[in-house]
Amino acid sequence: MALKIRFRFDGKCMAHPRYDPLRDGRPQRGNCEGCESLYVIHLYLRIAKRRASEGKGLVVRTAPPDREVQT
């Protein structure tokens, strides 16, 4: 079984559409909720990518075999 996970998020701040957390880092405008939200999403994506590459926090479950019903 193969599993492919992609980490991608496309979003823009309504007030500052050119802000990119990957390129710009922390938002310069500390009072802009849109820019701050994009930055937080960027941080969570970095954490998820790191954990996926290390194999931490991943739970693999398989379906249990069908059990016979006793009548």
Q: Please state the domain count of the chain.
A: 1
Inform me whether the pLDDT recorded for 70 exceeds 70: no
Structural domain includes residue 38: yes
- Give the pTM: 0.66
**pLDDT tens digits for 14-53?**
999 999 998 999 998 778 999 999 999 999 888 888 887 8
Domain housing 35: 24-52
User: Which distant-in-sequence residues (6+ apart) come within 8 Å of 39 by Cβ?
Assistant: 21, 26, 27
Structural domain includes residue 6: no
The predicted model gives 52-58 an average pLDDT of 74
Structural domain includes residue 13: no
Structural domain includes residue 57: no
Q: How many CB atoms lie within 10 A of CB 19?
A: 19
